[in-house]
Amino acid sequence: MQVSKWGNSLAVRIPSHIVKQLGLQEGDNVDAVFTRLKSREEALRSLKEIGKKLPSGFRFERPKD
């Protein structure tokens, strides 16, 4: 996910397929863990370590630095 400017703050948009899968609605409270990862492999390894499954059809792409 990409960090974007929102007023004087920064925001992260949640992709619609994740919103649908989790049944999120405006005003819902969520817990989040924020980690800055350097590579696709590192991100996938981190998700496996915490036992999280990706939604079907999930695509993990990160621009090359």
Total number of domains in the chain:
1
Provide the pLDDT for residue 23: 92
The amino acid that residue 19 corresponds to is: V
Residue 25 or 44, more confident: 25
Enclosing domain of residue 19: 3-49
Q: Is residue 31 part of a domain?
A: yes
Provide the pLDDT for residue 30: 87
Q: Is residue 56 part of a domain?
A: no
| Digit-coded pLDDT (tens) for 3-40 | 889 999 998 888 888 889 889 999 999 887 776 767 77
Q: Is residue 57 part of a domain?
A: no
Q: Is residue 40 part of a domain?
A: yes
Q: How far apart are CA 5 and CA 46, in angstroms?
A: 26
Q: How far is CA 62 from the centre of its chain?
A: 12
The amino acid that residue 4 corresponds to is: S
Q: Is residue 24 part of a domain?
A: yes
pTM: 0.46
| Dihedral pair phi/psi, residue 56, rounded to 5° | -60, 140
Q: Is residue 7 part of a domain?
A: yes
